């Protein structure tokens, strides 16, 4: 989990860039959802699975989490991913 300021022109542009970086690194993206308030994508690289989620927060920053795990542990990680998605939310900006 980490936070970063957007290097691109917008939250969407930043996440399109991040997905492209995953593709260039050899990940096959099998799931992607885009909205104004979040982006999620997951993919596979060999026996590895990744899931990443981003939400925009204040002043052009975004919060991210990324999980990578072996496919043989996918059933164990499914509830972890669901809980992280459910609980990751932005505080109100002042």
pLDDT class for 94, splitting at 50, 70, 90?
confident
Higher pLDDT pick, 59 / 79: 79
What pTM did the predictor assign?
0.88
Please say if the pLDDT value at position 28 is more than 90: yes
How far is it, in rounded angstroms, from Cα 15 to Cα 6?
A: 9
Q: What is the pLDDT of residue 47?
A: 98
- For the chain, the C-alpha Rg in angstroms (whole number) is 13
Q: What is the pLDDT of residue 24?
A: 98
| Mean pLDDT value across residues 38-51 | 97
């Amino acid at each position: 989990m980490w936070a970063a300021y957007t290097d691109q022109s917008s939250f969407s542009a930043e996440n399109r860039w991040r997905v492209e970086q995953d593709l260039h690194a050899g990940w096959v993206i099998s799931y992607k959802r885009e909205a104004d308030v979040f982006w999620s994508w997951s993919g596979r690289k060999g026996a590895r699975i990744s899931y990443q989620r981003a939400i925009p927060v204040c002043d052009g920053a975004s919060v991210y989490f990324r999980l990578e795990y072996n496919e043989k542990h996918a059933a164990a990680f499914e509830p972890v991913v669901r809980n992280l998605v459910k609980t990751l939310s932005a505080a109100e900006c002042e």
